[in-house]
Each structure stands twice: as structure tokens, then as C-alpha cells.
């Protein structure tokens, strides 16, 4: 899986494809390639490694033509090699294919094709598709019929795009993997994500599962797999191409950390009536008033869901967060639950599977996502957008913060009429003030100094209690993702039940201590436990306890309402992770082995 770009039109396809591939780098990849129709032939160039390696391979003799497809691959079947890179072709050179997803029955299809004499040159599941297409063409099928027949034979998740040597038409199909059409004045585009063609057009059509796209230079058609026409609306994407640039920052991640105040203002805009103590969220009529809420999510979104569930429980609304990959195989009783999928992209395969399981059992579903028109948004009964704008860095930053604030708004919305008005207004004021508080942390942070002090340590631990436990988990995940160093997050009280065995003077412990309640005071006791074992301790704190007396360094937080302090602590940890990774020379925006949008289970 990873990034797809396709084009039919008046431009030089190579230029369009390479622009698209560069825009898709943020999704993570380990090889890249293009196929361009040139004078009745397909010119295929592909290389393991980064896009610059591919650019070097085509620099002096670029394919010329106005129809083509491209791909960035994140390995699932076979290592990253030139042979395993996409596009893949059959033996006859008639068709080239790119594919995201997993073909579950590729083994049996490969055996069938080998039995009739077809030779395979890669380890991938994808290669069965062009061989199937060529086999159907050899039997007399047209390119379109051969493509449809091949799609009918494959099982699994896929977004498949094919181009042919003898036709300037591109065909595509989708099942459980994102695909979007770009409608332009100088041609038409296909991609796995909008940024791939945003430089050329902001007019998009979202493709649904079970649909086939036929792309011409002057038009496009969407049909079912049986060939029945499907009416699709063209939507305008409100992202500006400049939003996907670095704006002078060294990395997208650093830019997106600093964009958090703006993202939060966008998230809150028009939704908070502080005077009346009300939250107004449009389009949620379908979710009603659930008896409980079940969150399903993965990775960073799961940590946001943990905080969202805590917000709801604080209001007396039963709520729990479950890893989507576990929910799909062992779902809890649903009853009158609202099952809420938290997914930045709206395309996360595990989360979609969990939501579909819930819907199949009669639950109402809600998508909390950043992407208008994403699969989760279209399939759920309602969608609640976090409005963070495009996030290019693989490690989530502004989307995590915006998810948590959106879930806080959802908690207030579901609790409407039952809460103390003065307390609601106090919490809403805290949310209103949050963007400025995040800016203060960004302006005053000592994170770079802390990174200087502890870079090169043996391991890193992150601890906290209550909401700060979720921040500890997220801090450790972000640190691991971009530094490639070992880091773990724990509930602070669990240290003595095992993890203390790993504590040494080479394991810095980052502890979140906010407020002066029982949880904070007990966390200070946990700090003393690790300090007694010579571990260096960094406290992320608002100074309401005496924790500073027992630690080596402090990352200070401004005074704020308890409900927003975890997000301020998280901002400090984002900066620490970034600066350690930068000092280690890591690929911060595109960490090895990781993808931004995980579209396989």
C-alpha cells in the first residue's frame, strides 16, 4: 500500500505524476515508480528508495506522454526492491497496474496463472492483477472488460489503477482503500489522497467501495462493478496548496506543532456559545442521546479516544475506548451505544472494520475525522470534523490536539441540559483560552535544552495518572515513531508492578504532574520511586505540587484549567521528541516502516 496518482489529459504525464508522488511522500513509502503511455508503449520506471532516486533514473530521458500512473509503495509482500516496486506489468507489456491494499487470494491466482505459463518477477500480491488482465485480453476481452473481469476475481482490500499501451483511458476500482478523482480543465486525475493533485485542481469526486472509474482526458465515468452508472457529485476542497508546504520550517512536523493554535481556533469556531454555556455541533441529529459511547481508534487516535472517554465519564455518561483492531474481532455488547470511530484520515482500515461490525449489529455510528468525504464520514450515520487542516508529517501533532478538543465538545453536547451551567461555562472558557496557552508553551519551551541533555540515553519512560496517562502513552508513541529509540508510556502507579526493573541512570523518566489533587500527589510518590533508583526525571508540570524538589529538569506549563493541562503537557512532549529526532538525524516527516494512512488491517 501507500500512494497512488494517475492522470489523463493535456499535460506531460511525467511532470504530473512526479508532482503527485512528492505530495504523497508524507504517507510513508520505501519505493516509487511511474508508467507513462508513450507512442503505443508503456515506459515503466521504478526504484527502491526515495523519490529522488526515481527522479535520478528519469532525469535525462523522461518518458513523454499525457497518460500515466504512479505509486509510492510501503512494503507488505516482499522487501523494498526495484522488482517489487510499482507499477507492475504482465509479460506482454500491454498493461501497467498500481495497487494499494492486500489481495488475499493472490496465492491461488498466482498458481492458476503460472499453470498456464505466466512468469512472475516480483514477490508482491499486486503482480497477479496485470497478469489476470492480460490473460483476459488474450481471450478476446477489451481493456475495460479485462479490467472488470480481473477486479471481479480478486479478493481483499484494494484501490487498483490500470493504464494500457493501446489506450489513453485509465481504469480504477476501489474496495476498502481510498480513491478520489480530480476534475481539472486540462485533464482528470486519480489519487489515494487529495494533496496528490491539489496543485492542479481543487474539484474532487470521492469514489466508494464497489465502484469502477473510467478516466478520459475530457470526462470521467463512475459505474458499479456490473457496469451500472453511478451519479457522483463534484466537491470543492477548501485546502489551499500552500497549506501543504513547510512555510519556512525545517520539517512538516515542526510546522504542524506550531500550527496547533490556529488549528484549535478552527476547531472551536462557531461551535461554542460561551455566554449561554452551550455547544452547537451541526449534523449530529442522527446520533440521538445514547446511553453509552464506545470509541474505536488506533495509535494516536486511540490516545485521543482515551481522553474523550474520560471526559464523558466525568459527566456520568458511560464511555470506553477500545483499540479498533481488537474491537473488530471481539466487540463488546452494543445495546444503545453510540459507536464512535476516531480516525484522522477517515480511511484507517482497522477503524473502518470496527465501525462496520458495529453497524452490522444495529449500532448508531459517528465518525470523528479530519477529512471531509472520507470513507468513515460517508459510511457513518453522522460525521464530526476536527478541522485541523492538512497534516503531512506521519507523527500526529495538531490532529491529536484537535481530536481531543472535538471530543471535549462532543462531551458537552451529549451532556446538554444536565450539567451545572457555571461549570460548563468555565470549561468552555478553558477551551477558548487553549490556543493562546499552547502558543505560550511554544514560545517558552525548554524542550530543545532537554533534548540536548538526554539524547543518546538507553531508553525513555513516560508516566502519568488519569488524563495524564493518555498523554504519557502519546508522548512515548510520538518519541518512538520519529527517534527510533525505545520509549514506553505507563500509568504511573504501574511502575512498581514491573517496569521499575528497567529503570537505571540511563533511562530518563518524563512525568506529567498537573494540579494538586490526589492523582498528582501520588504521581509525586512515583517520581520518588524512580529518583531513588538514580533515574533522571523530567517533570512536565504547572508547579502546583512540590515535584520540582525531586526532579532533574522541568518543562513548565502555564496555569490553566485542569481539563486543558494534558494538552499543554503534550505540546511539550511533541517538542522534545522532535528535537531529539532532529539531533539524531532521523527522517522526521517520513519515519522508516510507517505510513500516514494505514489502509490494511
CATH number of the domain bearing residue 561: 3.40.50.10490
pLDDT of residue 302: 97
487 plus 518 within the same structural domain: yes
Residues 223 and 266 both lie in one domain: no
Count other C-beta atoms under 10 Å from residue 160's C-beta. Answer: 27
Q: Which of 255, 398, 590, 596 is catalytic?
A: 596
Same domain, 187 and 290: no
CATH number, domain containing residue 101 = 3.60.20.10
- pLDDT at position 598 is 63
**Segment among 324-338, 412-426, 471-485, 542-556 with least mean pLDDT:** 412-426
Is residue 380 among the annotated active site residues? no
Q: Are residues 226 and 189 in the same domain?
A: yes
Structural domain span for residue 510: 445-601
Do residue 114 and residue 252 come from a single domain?
Answer: no
Could you tell me if 24 and 159 lie in one domain? yes
Residues 346-404 pLDDT 10s? 988 899 999 999 999 999 999 999 887 788 998 999 999 999 888 888 899 999 999 99
502, 381: one domain:
no
pLDDT tens, 414-467?
Answer: 986 555 677 888 889 999 999 999 999 999 999 999 999 999 999 999 999 999
Closest CA to 94 of 18, 173, 15, 41: 41
Mark whether 475 and 438 lie in a shared domain.
no
> pLDDT tier at 597 (50, 70, 90 boundaries)?
low
Identify whether residues 190 and 115 lie together within a single domain: yes
- Give the model's confidence band at 276: pLDDT under 50 very low, under 70 low, under 90 confident, else very high: confident
What integer pLDDT is reported at residue 416 of this predicted model? 62
- Do 252 and 335 reside in the same domain of the chain? yes
Instruction: Find the mean pLDDT for residues 541-546.
Output: 93
- Beta-strand relationship, 203-206 and 220-224: unpaired
- Write down which residue in 242, 273, 300 finishes a domain: 242
**Domain end marker among 384, 418, 442:** 442
517 and 536 both lie in a single domain: yes
Picking from 403, 425, 442, the residue at the C-terminal end of a domain is: 442
Average pLDDT along the chain: 90
What residues pair up with 97 in beta bridges, in sequence order?
88, 162
> Which pLDDT band, with edges at 50, 70 and 90, does 49 fall under?
confident
- CA distances for 394 relative to 99, 307, 390, angstroms: 21, 21, 11
With 80 as the cut, is the pLDDT of residue 225 above it? Answer: yes
How many helical (H) and strand (E) elements, i.e. helices and strands, does the chain have?
17, 26
Q: By CB neighbour count within 10 A (0-12 exposed, 13-18 middle, 19+ buried), where does 80 fall? A: middle
Candidate list 2, 267, 298, 380, residue with the active-site label: 2
How many domains is the chain partitioned into structurally? Answer: 3
Question: What's the mean pLDDT in 187-200?
Answer: 90
23-48: pLDDT as tens digits: 887 666 778 899 999 988 999 999 98
Collect all residues with Cβ–Cβ distance below 8 Å to 282 and sequence separation of at least 6: none
**Burial environment of residue 140 by CB neighbours within 10 A (0 to 12, 13 to 18, 19 or more):** exposed
- Considering the entire predicted model, what is its pTM? 0.73
Q: Do 260 and 238 share a structural domain?
A: no
Amino acid at each position: 500500500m501507500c500512494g497512488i496518482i494517475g492522470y489523463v489529459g493535456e499535460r506531460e504525464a511525467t511532470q504530473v505524476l512526479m508532482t503527485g508522488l512528492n505530495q504523497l511522500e508524507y504517507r510513508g513509502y520505501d519505493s516509487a515508480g511511474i508508467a507513462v503511455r508513450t507512442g503505443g508503449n508503456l515506459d515503466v520506471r521504478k526504484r527502491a528508495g526515495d523519490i529522488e532516486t526515481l527522479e535520478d533514473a528519469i532525469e535525462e530521458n523522461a518518458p513523454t506522454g499525457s497518460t500515466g500512473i504512479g505509486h509510492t509503495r510501503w512494503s507488505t509482500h516482499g522487501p523494498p526492491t526495484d522488482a517489487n516496486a510499482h507499477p507492475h506489468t504482465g509479460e506482454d507489456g500491454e498493461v501497467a497496474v498500481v495497487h494499494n491494499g492486500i489481495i488475499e487470494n493472490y496465492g491461488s491466482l498466482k498458481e492458476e496463472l503460472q499453470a498456464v505459463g505466466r512468469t512472475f518477477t516480483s514477490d508482491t500480491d499486486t503482480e497477479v492483477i496485470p497478469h489476470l488482465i492480460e490473460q483476459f485480453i488474450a481471450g478476446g476481452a477489451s481493456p475495460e472488460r479485462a479490467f472488470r473481469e480481473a477486479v471481479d476475481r480478486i479478493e481483499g482490500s484494494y484501490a487498483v489503477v490500470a493504464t494500457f499501451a493501446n489506450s489513453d483511458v485509465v481504469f480504477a476500482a476501489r474496495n476498502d482503500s481510498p480513491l478520489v478523482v480530480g476534475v481539472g480543465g486540462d485533464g482528470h486525475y486519480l489519487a489515494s489522497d487529495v494533496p496528490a493533485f491539489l496543485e492542479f485542481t481543487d474539484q474532487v469526486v470521492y469514489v466508494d467501495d464497489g465502484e469502477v472509474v473510467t478516466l478520459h482526458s475530457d470526462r470521467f465515468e463512475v459505474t458499479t462493478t456490473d457496469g451500472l452508472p453511478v451519479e457522483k457529485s463534484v466537491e470543492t476542497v477548501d485546502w489551499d496548496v500552500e497549506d501543504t508546504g513547510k512555510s519556512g520550517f525545517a520539517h512538516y512536523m515542526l510546522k504542524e506543532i506550531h500550527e496547533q493554535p490556529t488549528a484549535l481556533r478552527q476547531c472551536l469556531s462557531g461551535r461554542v456559545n460561551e455566554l449561554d454555556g452551550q455547544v452547537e455541533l451541526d449534523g449530529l441529529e442522527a446520533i440521538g442521546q445514547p446511553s453509552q459511547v464506545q470509541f474505536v481508534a488506533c495509535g494516536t487516535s486511540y490516545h485521543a479516544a482515551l481522553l474523550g472517554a474520560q471526559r464523558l465519564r466525568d459527566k456520568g455518561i458511560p464511555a470506553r475506548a477500545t483499540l479498533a483492531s481488537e474491537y473488530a474481532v471481539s466487540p463488546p455488547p452494543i445495546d444503545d451505544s453510540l459507536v464512535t470511530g476516531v480516525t484522522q484520515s477517515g480511511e484507517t482500515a482497522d477503524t473502518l472494520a470496527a465501525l462496520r461490525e458495529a453497524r452490522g449489529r444495529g449500532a448508531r455510528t459517528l465518525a470523528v475525522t479530519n477529512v471531509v468525504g472520507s470513507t468513515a464520514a460517508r459510511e457513518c450515520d453522522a460525521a464530526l470534523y476536527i478541522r485541523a487542516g492538512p497534516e503531512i508529517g506521519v507523527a500526529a501533532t495538531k490532529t491529536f490536539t484537535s481530536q481531543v478538543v472535538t471530543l471535549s465538545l462532543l462531551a458537552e453536547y451529549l451532556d446538554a441540559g444536565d450539567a451545572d451551567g457555571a461549570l460548563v461555562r468555565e470549561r468552555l472558557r478553558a477551551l477558548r483560552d487553549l490556543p493562546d496557552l499552547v502558543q505560550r508553551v511554544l514560545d517558552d519551551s525548554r524542550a530543545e535544552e532537554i533534548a540536548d541533555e538526554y539524547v543518546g540515553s538507553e531508553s525513555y519512560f513516560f508516566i502519568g495518572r488519569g488524563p495524564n496517562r493518555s498523554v504519557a502513552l502519546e508522548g512515548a508513541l510520538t518519541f518512538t515513531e520519529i527517534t527510533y529509540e525505545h520509549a514506553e508510556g505507563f500509568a504511573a502507579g504501574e511502575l512498581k508492578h514491573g517496569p521499575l526493573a528497567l529503570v537505571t541512570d540511563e533511562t530518563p523518566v518524563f512525568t506529567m504532574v498537573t494540579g494538586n489533587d490526589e492523582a498528582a500527589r501520588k504521581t509525586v510518590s512515583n517520581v520518588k520511586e524512580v529518583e531513588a533508583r538514580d533515574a533522571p526525571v523530567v517533570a512536565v508540570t504547572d508547579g502546583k505540587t512540590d515535584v520540582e524538589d525531586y526532579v532533574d529538569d522541568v518543562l513548565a506549563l502555564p496555569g490553566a484549567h485542569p481539563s486543558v493541562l494534558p494538552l499543554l503537557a503534550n505540546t511539550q512532549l511533541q517538542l522534545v521528541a522532535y528535537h531529539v529526532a532532529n539531533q539524531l538525524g532521523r527522517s522526521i516527516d517520513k519515519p522508516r516502516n510507517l505510513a500516514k494512512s494505514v489502509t490494511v488491517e
